[in-house]
Chain A
Amino acid sequence: MSTATDSVDLVGDEVAVNLVRAALVAALMGAFAFVSFPNPLNPAVPVTAQVLGVFLAGIYLGPAWGGFAMLLYVLAGALGAPVFSGASAGLGEIFGPTGGYLVSYPFAAALIGAVVHGVDGLVDPEGVSFPRLVGAMTAGTVVIYALGIAVYWYYLDTSLVAAIVGAGLAFVPAEAVKMAAAVGIVRSDEVQAT
């Protein structure tokens, strides 16, 4: 064990609450990787709730802490917490063909948070209009798939069409289902934002 001689510097209440919330949302996202649901549109590809986690992080934690939560998710996964899809982990995932999706999550969550909450202070998600919520999640989805497909395409040396079909079209329709679920959660009164 190392010893420190400098005086103790307490973490402020607000930072402590936000840090813990961000870490638990990141862990929840990792837990989501274990649950899959039948895909109503394409039975061959089951739906996991992970992207729902990105939506919820942006909507409930805002741009800064939502992005931070997803950063924690990616970092913890790279360092060995089994949080990536199929309960896998490791730096190899970041350098793998699906690494683009992982790297995009912090940006997507920050963007969703920024569209939902604006730049000055957090608002109650329940009061946010429906078009704004859906617009935010659509923008986030575009970021996720743009990066995801670009990395898959570059990484596996396939043609762009093959990348768009293999890494994008097979999954995008399910995102609409997750958006509907996220709107349902925000409107349901079940989760208190603060």
Chain B
Amino acid sequence: MLGYEPGDSLAHHLDPRTKLAVQLAFAVAAFAHTDPRGLAVLTGVTALALASARLSPVSVLWGYRFLLPLLAAAVLFELVTLGPPWLDPAAAVDPLLASYRTLLIVGVAAGYVRTTAARESRAAVQWAIPGKPGRLLGAGVGLVFRFLPLLRRDLAAIRDAERARLGDERPTRERLRTVGAAGLRRAFARADRLAMALTARCFSWNATLPRIRLRAVDAPALALAAALLASVFV
């Protein structure tokens, strides 16, 4: 599973806003140049992004493996025709290029996921969306990161208990109902306890976040983002 890991790679030292800018510019450029030449250049950029995060392409593919059947289905649907000549390779070219583009965009995004801590992302959100809406979103995102492992454990415990009582032989609707109800009940119980604790400890709109600032190391990455954006108009 792909997630944040502390480290000392080049991408770890970049400002989160720089990394977000590169991802957005890359996605725009990839949509504008979904042709063999454009994708070849962008493959180089993706390799650069992965190298800067010290990520191997294989681990990225493994992390997003569930995407592959979906992409393959799109290519196959166009490749196979109902009637002679049965196979139509020309029609499959566009979906094939689009599928490859997906993998490139996902690869660049994986670099961000691996090298950016939740609180840096939160600081970037609050920089991008000023005022209370941004603070609300920032605090919420922080809580999602923090509570995801706990709720996953809750659900795993519920499923274990279900299995021990042969609940996994029940119909799917019943299982979804019991797991959903128990999961929601636990989540709400956690939420009410946490909300009371936060209020008791003066939960305020002005939380202290890590200071994010652009440094010299960000300059080449920002130049890359600008070049990607400029390529759209070429």
Contact = CB atoms under 8 A, between A and B. Distances in A.
B151 A16 contact: no
Interface string B194-232: 110011001111101111000000000000000000000
A80 B116 contact: yes
Contacts of A181: 173, 176-177, 180
Contact of A19 (B4, B118, B140, B174): B140
A91 B74 CA distance: 21
Given A27-B143, A157-B98, A185-B177, A32 B183 contact: yes
Given A23-B147, A24-B190, A80-B4, A52 B180 contact: yes
Contact of A79 (B118, B139, B159): B118
B204 to A, nearest CB: 5
Contact of B172 (A40, A80, A89): A40
A4 B206 contact: yes
B44 interface: no
Contacts of A131: none
A87 B149 CA distance: 12
Interface residues of A, number: 82
Nearest to B107: A92
Residue with the highest number of chain A CB atoms closer than 10 Å, among B110, B175, B184, B204: B184
A4 B151 CA distance: 33
A185 B180 contact: yes
A8 B206 contact: yes
Interface in A1-40: 1-4, 6, 8-11, 13, 15-17, 19-28, 30-32, 34-35, 37-40
Contacts, number: 270
A91 B2 CA distance: 13
A74 B159 CA distance: 25
B40 interface: no
Contact of B154 (A26, A31, A86, A87): A31
B41 interface: no
Contacts of A9: 204-206
A25 B65 contact: no
Contact of B141 (A72, A98, A182, A188): A72
Given A1-B208, A40-B171, 11 more contacts: A11-B198, A27-B143, A27-B144, A35-B155, A68-B136, A80-B112, A90-B112, A91-B109, A95-B109, A185-B181, A190-B185
Interface of B: 1-4, 20, 23-24, 27, 63-67, 70-71, 73-74, 77-78, 94-95, 97-99, 102, 105-110, 112-113, 116, 118, 121, 124-125, 136-137, 139-141, 143-145, 147-148, 150-152, 154-155, 159, 171-177, 179-185, 187-188, 190-192, 194-195, 198-199, 202-206, 208-211
